[in-house]
């Protein structure tokens, strides 16, 4: 999801909460008028105000209760640490966005030897780095929970311990080669093999973090979205179909055998 999409989702969530509060206030005011009319006591304006305040309080309390009852505890053992998350709706949504941003990029997809583009791989990793860092720097990340760890602490580990060291090492090296040899393909880069090897190591190191994001998001099987795509050549060959009545069976390559000449019923004379 893009930054604009994330802001749009956040805006719609806030607007829905405000709309519920206003609606509840109106209903509370109406309830106050009805209560006043039934009781026929003095102070109609006070009844309207009190009813409205009670309605707003009920809406806000209901929204807070809805978020609190959806708390889910997730315990994760990550490289060098063990973290416990009290995942509410906001935390699950943030983890889901970050999981999807990673699951479609080179951070999780294999780069086979002799294939792919190293410059595009570095650009993809830098884009992921910026997507993860932007909420932290802009102040849009929700405050840390009162109990347990925050999903953004997990993101800080990804940025500081994995992505930043890799990018700071390999981006200037590849850039120096490209500037010194603009007419050469990157396959001629002396560090090509070393880059690919360290990229595989980076992917292995990042995998537990991304699986953790998927588990916080509540995905049933986050590992499934990080596996390499199955190759068609790995599928066993299908058996030839059964012949129809009066039809010769097909051979293993799918073709029909050459028809055998019919026997001559006449005797040689």
Backbone angles phi, psi at 22, to 5 degrees: -65, -45
| Tens digits of residue pLDDT in 160-209 | 999 999 999 999 999 999 999 999 999 999 999 999 999 999 999 999 99
- What local confidence, expressed as pLDDT, does residue 58 receive? 62
**For residues 25 and 147, what is the distance between their CA atoms, to the nearest angstrom?**
32
Q: Given this model, what pLDDT does residue 202 score? A: 96
Strand 72-78 and strand 81-87: the pairing is antiparallel
pLDDT at 135: 85
Residue carrying structure tokens 């209901």: 62
Q: Which of 202, 83, 219 is nearest to 153 (CA)?
A: 83
Predicted pLDDT of residue 266:
46
* Residue 156: how many other CB atoms lie within 10 Å: 13
pLDDT score for 194: 96
Q: What distances in angstroms separate CA 7 from CA 3, 32, 65, 223, one per listed residue?
A: 6, 37, 24, 28
Give the pair of three-digit tokens for residue 72: 């889910």
Please identify every stretch of the chain with a pLDDT value under 70, giving residue numbers as ranges. Answer: 1-71, 142, 229-269
Looking at residue 180, its pLDDT comes to 96
Q: What is the pLDDT of residue 99?
A: 95
pLDDT of residue 8: 45
What pLDDT is attached to residue 56? 64
Residue 62 pLDDT: 55
Quote the pLDDT of residue 63.
56
C-alpha–C-alpha distance, residues 263 and 266, integer Å: 9
DSSP string, the chain: --HHHHHHHHHHHHHHHHHHHHHHHHHHHHHHHHHHHHHT-S-HHHHHHHHHHHHHHHHHHHHHHHHHHT-EEEEEEETTEEEEEEE-HHHHHHHHHHHHHHHTSTTTS---TT-S-HHHHHHHHHHHHHHHHHHHHHT-SPPPPSSSB-HHHHHHHIIIIIIHHHHHHHHHHHHHHHHH-TTS-GGG-TTHHHHHHHHHHHHHHHHHHHHHHHHHHT-S-GGGGGSPPPPGGGSPPPPPPPPPTT-PPP-TTSPPPPPPPPPP-SPP-
């Amino acid at each position: 999801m893009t930054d604009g999409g994330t802001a749009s989702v956040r805006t719609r969530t806030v607007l829905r909460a405000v709309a519920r509060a206003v609606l509840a206030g109106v209903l509370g005011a109406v309830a106050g008028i009805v209560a006043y009319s039934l009781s026929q006591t003095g102070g109609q304006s006070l009844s309207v105000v009190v009813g409205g305040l009670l309605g707003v309080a009920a809406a806000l309390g209901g929204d807070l209760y809805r978020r609190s009852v959806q708390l889910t505890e997730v315990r994760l053992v990550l490289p060098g640490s063990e973290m416990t998350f009290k995942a509410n709706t906001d935390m699950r949504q943030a983890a889901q966005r970050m999981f999807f941003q990673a699951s479609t990029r080179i951070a999780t997809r294999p780069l086979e030897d002799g294939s792919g583009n190293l410059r595009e791989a570095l650009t993809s990793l830098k884009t992921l780095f910026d997507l993860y860092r932007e909420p932290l720097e802009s102040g849009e990340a929700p405050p840390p929970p009162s109990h347990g760890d925050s999903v953004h602490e997990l993101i800080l580990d990804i940025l500081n311990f994995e992505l930043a060291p890799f990018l700071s090492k390999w981006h200037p090296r590849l850039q120096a080669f490209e500037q010194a040899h603009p007419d050469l393909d990157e396959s001629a880069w002396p560090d090509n093999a070393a880059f690919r090897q360290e990229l595989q190591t980076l992917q292995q190191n990042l995998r537990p973090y991304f699986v953790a994001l998927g588990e916080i998001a509540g995905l049933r099987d986050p590992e499934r979205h990080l596996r390499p795509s199955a190759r068609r050549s790995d599928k066993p060959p299908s058996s030839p179909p059964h012949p129809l009545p009066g039809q010769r069976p097909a051979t293993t390559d799918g073709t029909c055998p050459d028809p055998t000449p019919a026997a001559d019923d006449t005797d040689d004379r």
